[in-house]
A and B are shown apart, each in its own frame.
Chain A
Amino acid sequence: MENPDLSAQLAQAARDARRPDGTGYRSLSSASVDRLALRFDLSHNQIEQAGLAIGILPERYARNMTSLNLQDQQRLLGSTACIVGVGGLGGSVAETLARIGVGHLRLVDGDHFEDSNLNRQRFARAATIGKPKVDAARESIAAINPAVEITTWAENLSTANGESIVAGADIAIDCLDTLSARQALQTVCRRRAIPMVSAAVAGVSGQLTVIYPEDEGLAALYGDLASAPDRGAEKTLGNLPFTVNLLASLECSEAVKVLLGRRETLRGRLLIFDLTDLSFDMIQLAAS
Chain B
Amino acid sequence: MEWHITLKLFATLRAYIPADAEQYAIAPGTTVADIVRDLDIPVKDAKLIFINNIRRELETPLQDGDRLGIFPPVGGG
Contacts and interface: CB of A to CB of B under 8 A. Distances in A.
Contact of A228 (B14, B69, B73): B73
Interface stretch (A29-37, A150-158, A175-183): A175-183
Given A234-B76, A237-B12, A229 B44 contact: yes
Interface in A209-223: 220-223
A239 interface: yes
A191 B45 CA distance: 30
Nearest to A86: B77
A200 B75 contact: yes
A221 B73 CA distance: 8
User: At the interface, is chain A mostly helix, strand, loop or mixed?
Assistant: mixed
Contacts of B75: 176-179, 182, 200, 202, 230-232, 234
B76 A177 contact: yes
A201 B74 contact: yes
B73 A87 contact: no
A222 B47 contact: yes
B11 A237 contact: yes
Interface residues of B, number: 22
Interface stretch (A98-106, A162-170, A271-279): A271-279
Nearest to B75: A232
B68 to A, nearest CB: 12
Contact of A221 (B11, B14, B48): B48
Contacts of B10: 205, 272, 274
Interface string A274-286: 1010010111111
B7 to A, nearest CB: 13
A88 interface: yes
Interface string A223-248: 10000111111101111000010000
A287 B53 CA distance: 10
Contacts of B44: 229
Contacts of B71: 205, 207, 272
A23 interface: no
Interface string B1-31: 0000000101110100000000000000000
Given A205-B10, A205-B74, A233-B11, 16 more contacts: A87-B77, A177-B77, A178-B75, A202-B12, A202-B72, A207-B48, A229-B44, A230-B75, A232-B72, A233-B45, A281-B50, A281-B53, A283-B54, A284-B53, A284-B55, A287-B55
